[in-house]
Amino acid sequence: MTDERARANLQPLSLHVPEPRFRPGDPVDFADVAVPPVDAARRPDTAADPRSFHELAFGLVRVLELDGTAGGQWNPRLSPDQMRRMLRNMALTRAFDERMFRAQRQGKTSFYMKSLGEEAVSIGAAAALADDDMCFPSYRQQGILLSRGCPLVDMMNQIYSNRGDKLMGRQLPIMYSEKRFGFFSISGNLTTQYPQAVGWAMASAAKGDTRIAATWCGEGSTAEGDFHSACTFASVYRAPVIFNVVNNQWAISSFSGFAGAEATTFAARAIGYGIAGLRVDGNDALAVYAATQWAAERARTNGGPTLIEHFTYRAEGHSTSDDPTQYRSAGEPNAWPLGDPVVRLRDHLIALGEWDEERHAQMDRELAEEVRAAQKEAEKNGVLGHGMHQPFETMFEGVFEQTPWHLKEQQAQMIAERQAAGI
Ligand SMILES: Cc1ncc(C[n+]2csc(CCOP(=O)(O)OP(=O)(O)O)c2C)c(N)n1
Ligand SMILES: [Mg+2]
């Protein structure tokens, strides 16, 4: 029976609606963002029981201090050549992004997404994975394709949906698909890649293969059901998969609190599924490398999945269609306490005596020229919106092995209508 009188003194029920700390015009202070020293996180054995290192889901795996020194148990001790390659790939990603962003502003394509400030997440992982491990990325991991040597012209052809676009203009610009480079087709439907990665990983194991899968999604995307069903399957079957959550604080204009960041970390999601969870400084390319290498070894030795949260910051807009000045303080990107991933690796190499400002500037000039030359080449195949780059009737092809009768009918009708209109 309900006792109305007993409840009479209670406050009415209410909901907590998260609110970001800084809005446009607010001064920014990230003093409460904990940045532990590099030796604070221990590195467990890759075969360890996930229950024995829960604290790693709440701390921050770091290798590079902000003064350019490196240390701690997670230091992967890479050679200067390996680190210079990673630095170059991050700088290439930045140069490519810059050029393609401008191409969108010049009306040569309809859409582009930069990864400014998050380059280490892709480049560190690509360096640690085997080249034939299968990647199921989101739309901000262009750095993987660039690391694996995908020709810039091919990527640009896709962005321009031109005659050279192997996807024949059927995907939104930047939603690449590159079987050659172990890069699964990007989907605009957030987080669908998560269960797909688990399925691929399970198939790899079922076939007795040695390749593993890795997948990426943003922190906002962890709110999707697909994220959770992927974690359940991976946990149950100990699938050889690495789950990367790129926590760049924002999901377009929604801050991370709407995906649960006020209550716990994203790495802590792993604990509920009984899988390994690591929270990593996402602006530290060496830490991303080390965590990925650890998770890859675990997966490849049948130790099961790892969930890695990459703590980073989206330094610019969500995409070319976004204007972050409308919803967040302009001071945030510069106040972000984990710095710039390119600068951090550069400073480390300089501190080692393996790099200098002049070589860095020279590298940037070379990369800008490489990207500019590729752009010129790609534009010979046309740009988006300027002409019909693919035979229009091909839009009905390539989905089904045998085109169904109703699509054949629509295709024929379209051809007839265009002929009648004299196009
Ligand atoms: C299922 C689904 N819901 C919503 C959208 C619209 N949408 C596209 S990107 C995005 C934000 C995703 O943010 P996050 O997962 O944090 O990734 P980020 O863009 O920060 O890398 C949203 C809501 C979508 N594409 N698919
Ligand atoms: Mg995000």
From the list 275, 134, 173, the residue with the least C-alpha distance to 267 is 275
Name every protein residue with a CB atom under 6 angstroms from any ligand 1 atom. Answer: 140, 188-190, 217-221, 246, 248, 250-252, 314, 318
Ligand 1 center from residue 192 Cα (angstroms): 11
Q: Which of 140, 314, 328, 346 is catalytic?
A: 314
Q: What are 299-309's pLDDT values in tens digits?
A: 999 999 999 99
> CA angle 402-408-410, nearest 5°?
145
Pick out the chain residues at pLDDT < 50.
none
84 is catalytic: no
Pocket test for ligand 1, best of 140, 190, 216 (most atoms within 8 A of CB): 190
16 is catalytic: no
User: What is the model's pLDDT at position 386?
Assistant: 87
Q: What are 30-63's pLDDT values in tens digits?
A: 999 999 999 999 999 999 999 999 999 999 999 9
Assign 3-state DSSP to the chain and report helix, strand, coil percentages, each to 5. Answer: 45, 10, 45
User: What is the model's pLDDT at position 1?
Assistant: 64
Angstrom distance (rounded) from CA 145 to CA 237:
29
Question: What kind of fold does domain 38-379 have according to CATH?
Answer: Rossmann fold (3.40.50)
Q: Name, in order, each residue with C-beta under 8 angstroms of 357's C-beta and a sequence gap of 6 or more.
A: 350
Q: Which of 21, 43, 163, 327 is catalytic?
A: 327
Ligand 1 center from residue 322 Cα (angstroms): 12
Q: How many helices (H) and strands (E) does the chain have?
A: 13, 7
User: What is the model's pLDDT at position 370?
Assistant: 98
Angstrom distance (rounded) from CA 355 to CA 284:
17
User: What is the model's pLDDT at position 2?
Assistant: 73
Atom of ligand 1 nearest to the CA of 247: 16
